[in-house]
Amino acid sequence: MSPFLLTRTLPVDATDAALRADVLHGLTRRPKTLPPKWFYDAHGSDLFEEITRLPEYYPTRAEREILIDRAEEIARASGALTLVELGSGSSEKTRHLLDALPALHSYVPVDVSESALRGAAEALLAQRPGLSVHALIADFTGSLQLPDTPGPRLVAFLGGTIGNLLPEERSTFLRSVRSLLSPGDALLLGTDLVKEEKVLVDAYDDAAGVTAEFDKNVLSVVNRELGADFDPADFDHVARWDPEQEWVEMRLRAREPLTVKIPALDLVVSFGAGEELRTEVSAKFRKEGVKAELAASGLRMDHWWTDSAGRFALSLSTAA
């Protein structure tokens, strides 16, 4: 079996330090915010997997449809010998690309979770025992240094996760990706598209209440890791479409005035009745906007594919 290598580029205590910094910054500003990455402890990851199977949540199915229908075309266009996946998680969707890349030499999954990386590598190596897997424990929004693997390389950022970044964060991220690309390398980017407001809002506020539980899980994470005394029952899950920014916002709205203690930060946070804590922004895109953002970061969009209903897109770009 080909080797499995694991490289840690994050300090062991980096996650704790980042959580402390995000909570202190986000809960002492107005409006209050917390980054969506803190949804994803083990329970939150399980909840998100459940969300992807809900009838209202179309992005996962739409992206999978494109990958199944276009994987061979993507493989031909990229000619990749190395596949780099940012925010790889379980690497489930990656298998459609692997099937279309029989000559692939190396797979480089990048994630903050060591357990997710090990689990994904084990599953992939069982399927492709000749594949070399070099996993990176890293924050893909930071500065990355990729291992020495054969080119061309295909860097994949799937799931519409780029929509969780604010415009200035997207610009920084895309410039960072551009700096990783050598001549012949390419970026495969997943973007959710602008569509009817009801379809968008329902995807983030399902009838079964799974997304509401997922949204409130960020409070449970802060409670467990920082000793806070949030009661998730004190908050209502809210999802709304912002037509000016063209993004969906998820928020937690305090049902009544309350005070939360966070001992690890020596912090007391007050909420007024109806005050909202923003937990996620999920931007939706149009083709010309994606093309322009890529171009501003030194990337040229060469291919654009959508699912049959035009709900989601994958684009393939190279260094301009």
* Tokens 């994958």 sit on residue: 314
294 phi and psi angles, rounded to 5 deg: -65, -45
Alpha carbon 114 to its chain centroid, in Å, reads: 16
> In the predicted model, what is the mean pLDDT of the chain?
93
The pLDDT tens digits for 188-216 are 999 999 999 999 999 999 999 999 999 99
Q: What confidence tier does 2 reach under pLDDT thresholds 50, 70, 90? A: low
Residue 11 burial (CB count, 10 A):
9
The pLDDT tens digits for 23-43 are 999 999 999 999 999 998 889
* Tokens 């692939």 sit on residue: 104
Peptide bond into 243 cis (omega under 30): no
Q: What confidence tier does 96 reach under pLDDT thresholds 50, 70, 90? A: confident
Helix axes 210-226, 14-27, angle to 10 degrees: 110
Distance CA 190, CA 28 (A): 33
Structure letter (DSSP) for residue 265: G
Higher per-residue confidence, 300 vs 14: 300
Q: What confidence tier does 127 reach under pLDDT thresholds 50, 70, 90? A: confident
Distance CA 84, CA 188 (A): 10
Cα distances (angstroms) measured from residue 170 to each of 140, 177, 279: 12, 10, 17
Domains in the chain, please, with CATH? Answer: 1-224+285-320 (3.40.50.150)
- Of the candidates 246, 135, 137, 250, which has an alpha carbon nearest to the alpha carbon of residue 191? 246
Q: What confidence tier does 1 reach under pLDDT thresholds 50, 70, 90? A: very low
Distance CA 294, CA 108 (A): 23
